[in-house]
Structure 1
Amino acid sequence: MEPADTFTLQLRGYQKQALLWMHSLEMNAESARQQKSIHPLWKEYAFPLDPNQETIDLTTDEQPFYYNEFSGELSLEFPVAERKFKGVGMGKTIMLSALIQTAREPEPPSLRNGEDAPSKRHKQLRLDNTFRLSAKKPKTSKGPSATLIVAPTSLLSQWSEELQRSSKPGTLKVLVWHGQNRLDLESAVAQDDGVDVVITSYGTLVSEFMKSEQLSSPVFESVILDEAHSCKSRQSKTARAVCALRARRRWAVTGTPIVNRLEDLYSLLKFLDFTPWSDYTFFRSVVTLPFLDRDPKAIEVVQVILEAVLLRREKHMRDSDGKMIVELPPKEVTVENLEFSPLERKIYDSLYTDAKKNFENWNEKGVVSKHYTSILAMLMRLRRAVLHPSLVLSSIANEIKPEGSGSVDVNAMIKSFVSGDSLDGKGNAFAKDVLNSLGQDENVECPICFDVMDSPMIIPGCLHKCCKDCIAAFLESCADKKEEGRCPICSYAPVRESDLLEVLRSKAAEDLSPGVASSITLRRNDFRSSTKLDALLQNLRRLRDQDPTFRAVVFSQFTTYLDLIQTALERERFEWYRFDGSMDIKKRGEAVSRFKSPSSQPKVLIVSLKAGGVGLNISNTIEGRILQIQKRKTAIVKEAFGGKGGTDSIENLKIMFGDE
């Protein structure tokens, strides 16, 4: 089926099929309700043979009859279940936009008092003294024509942008009904030139519902729930609010109709008013209780229900010609295993030992079931320790954030040494030669490991150079021996790890202005990193060397770790953008838009898993590479970069430890 003329995008084949199915259901077409599966409450039986019949004709077809064991009904007609529910996995925003524009005819006019049709009983007319009729004619208004879309807060701007992008200018009026200064919804919809689509969040809907335990919203032509599993709990305020909405047509869009329990499906059936399953007592007696009793029939009933009401598209499906229904860019999954540093190993082992000891004590007392919350808290603590020790040790939390970017002016240091005012009070030619040769000496050996220094570190007092890992390990060994930190070459003391200067060489020094300061940068080592964070930065540098315009998305469940990543990106001079729950809709939209905009510089988007875990559309024409910090992000990455069906490759990097 082709969409309306106002729809400007090109639908794929499977999207046109979905549009035909949805539009047929809304128009009550019989073709959309054809179904071969029997209703789950009915059973099929065959009439018994006549025992007095001497011969049996095997060529005749048996005539079945159907019995409903719950109501006791008998029927000769094949009982089917009506379809009402839709859950899609790809391009749902575009398909629903096509549906909204294809079925925009309002319902017939109705009376203002809410009646569906004019009453046949007319009110008696009254005549005044001049015999003029004074009876007022009933006021009529147009039927509902607006569509309400309820979505998570992070998707409101995306819905608005996609609806405007997929329609001709001026043909679809969209209102984002969210925030403190939102307009009166009923007046905005009731006007002759009112809005066509209203987009709001679940939080706003619940806020309006809790004011009077009911919604005074107008009647909508359609209500669409995006990420409909947000109302999975039937007793939640969200579920009660969406069920109180008034609409002629209802659509629930979700990739996970069942999240944690089988009963999660009930809230969706309740919203769709899919009788008899919208009755909780009936649903519990037919589905929930048999399932808890391990009755296999419960699964059969659920399967038939989903077959009757569910339309699903998956990326691995193929069309009638054997081709993939959607071509996704190739994805390369790389798993990088790391080893803890000695300090990180001590911290992690200490936390693990304490957690194991507590669990064993609870297990001996038989009270493990009473400490589920504490067990989960200990597991989360171990997960944070893998990312960065500062996330679990408050004593060093204040030591990890440097002041500014930590850069040191090389020319200023040279002038300081030449003038005789060096850090140790000894201005000499050696210091000047060391600083002047930083940009030229690229294959200098470390005096500790005798290998080429990848990340040279300068000791300010004596200006000797060592590998970053070597000098850090040497200073740590001094601390273990309760000795003062010193230079491993000349024994200059005291030396602290935060006093060291890191040498950063520019990869494009030939394109810069001549001079040492143009090719190298000195940076204070006042930021305490971690093994996993160093691995992330190393891969980002590698991507920048391979493609100066690359895009990367970094996910993390912990916003405190995003703070550390943000600081590290600033020190590495990466252009970064943030997307988390503390940002309002406008700032989130700006961050995604700026990240997607073309640029000759690399960009990194750091995303909170909770805020960006649903529907985040960051598809880009430039090659997208995903740096995945934690596990279980594959589905999110597919949705993020598969939204528009790009053609470039995706690199999915998992940075893990052996203990994870």
Structure 2
Amino acid sequence: MSSLKIIAFLGKHTCIILLTNVVPSQDGSSAFHRIDWYRIVLDEAHTIKSPRTKAAQAAYMLSSQCRWCLTGTPLQNNLEDLYSLLCFLRVEPWCNSNWWQKLIQRPYENGDERGLKLVKAILRPLMLRRNKETKDKMGKPILVLPPANVEVVECEQSIEERDFYEALFRRSKVQFDKFVAQGNVLNNYANILELLLRLRQCCDHPFLVISKADTKKYTDLDELAERFLKGAQNDSGCRAIVPPRAFVEDVVEEIRQGTAAECPICLESTSDDPVITPCAHRMCRECLLSCWSTPAGGACPICRSPITKADLIMLPVQCRYEVDAKNNWKDSCKVVRLLATLEDLGKKGEKSIVFSQFTSFFDLLEIPLNQKGIKFLRFDGKVTQKHREKVLNEFSQSKDKLVLLMSLKAGGVGLNLTAASNVFLMDPWWNPAVEEQAIMRIHRIGQKRAVHVRRFIVKDTVEERMQQVQARKQRMIAGALTDEEVRSSRIEELKMLFK
């Protein structure tokens, strides 16, 4: 549809619902930028928390008389998240980078409390905050929900699991200490994320680490490079951006050598479920699919090149596990506790949602669930959009399928899951706000029963130290970090994880 036709179509309506990632143009030349809107309401506004991204820049360029931001997490990792929202709202002079850096960011990083006091003064006339504890003028809660209880389930590894974990930890720490000694910690951030990823996966189940997904064994890399250089012709006839030959050769060589890559969306290692775009960018498949407004395709989050789902290149893996997991199955400490709880809840007819960051962990969980006769459904990035609706409807209506395995990335935003009253967080996430958003999909309007949240943590492992990182981020958001803690927090957090 041409820009003129889009404008004519939108002009016939008084209310337009538009997804953030539909606004494609950073330079303000799209049809949406040629309309003078009366009011723009940006839902899930934290999606533009990075002001330098093209999505954020495109949102800033929209023209309107009134601008609103709706988000449950306006501040997640640092004060720059808030700065991006002020840029969209055009709050002068605080949407000016020089003012922000001089009067807020630098004072805050130097331990000057006036930086945070100024932020609070800026937000006071702008922000209308409501939470579940907010009360009306009569002193009554504005929202009445059943209680939500959060329990930390501490799991203790078996002797065999512990030996395996400690061996893996020692090897990882040697590599990390080498980066520290060389002063190259942040330059090797993706490799360090890979080391931490393996330790975290080991806490879920050692089989996740004993993997045949060895990138050194890939045999189709020459063909892969040729496909990159030819570019991709998508369904709309737009040719994808062809990456430079030198860049493609670097990417292929990294894959051949098994070099880790950091997902540009979630900032995690891409090792669990990687995908490569025709423009030679590596990222998590679920992260990419969640960025698109339609399941068929969208723009590359890095270069905005148009791509379709069919264009995506999956790294070839013959067998995920080196051992025959099904015929040599052995429960991990987390799996033991999970199965026991699910069996008890099943007798009561209560529904449960099991969240994990690793789809490979769900592949493993299917084995003991089938052995125990526990019927379940699955919801992650591998499920098509059409089938997703079917899965959610079946989970809501079914009397025997009481368990839903759900990816934290796929289920954290935009879903209503009030059919369940039990939440299992199998592995901690770096950003506590992501976990909270997932929980809020269950504990929300429409929930009739008390919600029980269980956070699984393996004792004396990197998971316990990740909880400390989460607590530090929460303190930072509350304004508790001062002095050198802010400037050096990234490196210090990594050092703490490898203690």
Task: Output the TM-score relative to the length of structure 1.
Answer: 0.48
> 1:558 — aligned with what?
358
Code of the aligned partner of 1:617: N
Query: Structure 1 residues 583, 215: CA separation in 2 closer, same or farther (over 3 Å shift)?
Result: farther
Query: Structure 1 residues 314, 357: CA separation in 2 closer, same or farther (over 3 Å shift)?
Result: same
SS in 1 for 2:51: coil
Distance in 2 between residues matched to 1:498 and 1:362, nearest whole Å: 35
Code of the aligned partner of 1:542: D
> 1:199 — aligned with what?
18
Aligned residue pair count: 347
State the Cα deviation string for residues 52-110 of structure 1 (Å, max 9, x = none): xxxxxxxxxxxxxxxxxxxxxxxxxxxxxxxxxxxxxxxxxxxxxxxxxxxxxxxxxxx
1:543 to 2:362 alignment: no
> 1:187 — aligned with what?
8
1:281 to 2:98 alignment: yes
> 1:588 — aligned with what?
388
> 1:531 — aligned with what?
333
* Equivalent residues of 2:148, 2:443 under 8 A apart: no
State the Cα deviation string for residues 326-368 of structure 1 (Å, max 9, x = none): 2221234444333323332222111011122223344444544
Query: Structure 1 residues 330, 181: CA separation in 2 closer, same or farther (over 3 Å shift)?
Result: farther
* Equivalent residues of 1:555, 1:629 under 8 A apart: yes
* Equivalent residues of 1:535, 1:655 under 8 A apart: no
Distance in 2 between residues matched to 1:184 and 1:587, nearest whole Å: 32
Code of the aligned partner of 1:562: F
State the Cα deviation string for residues 247-268 of structure 1 (Å, max 9, x = none): 3322111122222222222221
1:331 to 2:151 alignment: no
> 2:454 — aligned with what?
653
* Equivalent residues of 1:552, 1:626 under 8 A apart: yes
Code of the aligned partner of 1:586: K
Query: Structure 1 residues 608, 599: CA separation in 2 closer, same or farther (over 3 Å shift)?
Result: closer
Query: Structure 1 residues 254, 572: CA separation in 2 closer, same or farther (over 3 Å shift)?
Result: same
Query: Structure 1 residues 292, 338: CA separation in 2 closer, same or farther (over 3 Å shift)?
Result: closer
> 2:426 — aligned with what?
629
By how many angstroms is 1:619 displaced? 1.5
**CA RMSD after TM alignment:** 3.2
Distance in 2 between residues matched to 1:222 and 1:557, nearest whole Å: 37
Counterparts of residues 137-286 of structure 1 (less than 5 Å): 185-191=6-12, 194=13, 196-200=15-19, 202-205=20-23, 208-209=24-25, 214-217=29-32, 218-286=35-103
Distance in 2 between residues matched to 1:265 and 1:335, nearest whole Å: 31
State the Cα deviation string for residues 170-205 of structure 1 (Å, max 9, x = none): xxxxxxxxxx999963233223xx4733232x3332
Code of the aligned partner of 2:451: I
By how many angstroms is 1:576 displaced? 2.6
Query: Structure 1 residues 199, 645: CA separation in 2 closer, same or farther (over 3 Å shift)?
Result: same
Question: Which of residues 607, 617, 623 in structure 1 aligns to 2:416?
Answer: 617
Structure 1: segments with no counterpart, 5+ residues = 1-179, 398-496, 500-523
* Equivalent residues of 1:387, 1:532 under 8 A apart: yes
Structure 2: segments with no counterpart, 5+ residues = 215-322, 464-499
By how many angstroms is 1:525 displaced? 4.9
Report the structure, 1 or 2, having the larger helix content: 2
Counterparts of residues 362-511 of structure 1 (less than 5 Å): 362-394=179-211
> 2:406 — aligned with what?
607
Distance in 1 between residues matched to 2:18 and 2:65, nearest whole Å: 17
Distance in 2 between residues matched to 1:554 and 1:184, nearest whole Å: 45
Distance in 2 between residues matched to 1:370 and 1:181, nearest whole Å: 45
Code of the aligned partner of 2:426: I
Code of the aligned partner of 1:537: L
By how many angstroms is 1:384 displaced? 0.3
By how many angstroms is 1:390 displaced? 1.8
Distance in 2 between residues matched to 1:396 and 1:289, nearest whole Å: 44
> 2:298 — aligned with what?
none
By how many angstroms is 1:554 displaced? 0.6
* Equivalent residues of 2:155, 2:457 under 8 A apart: yes
SS in 1 for 2:47: helix
> 1:453 — aligned with what?
none
By how many angstroms is 1:297 displaced? 2.2
* Equivalent residues of 1:214, 1:241 under 8 A apart: no
Query: Structure 1 residues 224, 578: CA separation in 2 closer, same or farther (over 3 Å shift)?
Result: farther
Code of the aligned partner of 1:266: Y
* Equivalent residues of 2:86, 2:94 under 8 A apart: yes
SS in 2 for 1:374: helix
Distance in 1 between residues matched to 2:28 and 2:2, nearest whole Å: 21
* Equivalent residues of 2:3, 2:30 under 8 A apart: no
1:343 to 2:160 alignment: yes
Query: Structure 1 residues 396, 348: CA separation in 2 closer, same or farther (over 3 Å shift)?
Result: farther
* Equivalent residues of 1:332, 1:650 under 8 A apart: yes
By how many angstroms is 1:386 displaced? 0.9
Code of the aligned partner of 1:257: P
* Equivalent residues of 1:220, 1:247 under 8 A apart: yes
* Equivalent residues of 1:557, 1:609 under 8 A apart: yes
By how many angstroms is 1:290 displaced? 3.1
> 1:299 — aligned with what?
116
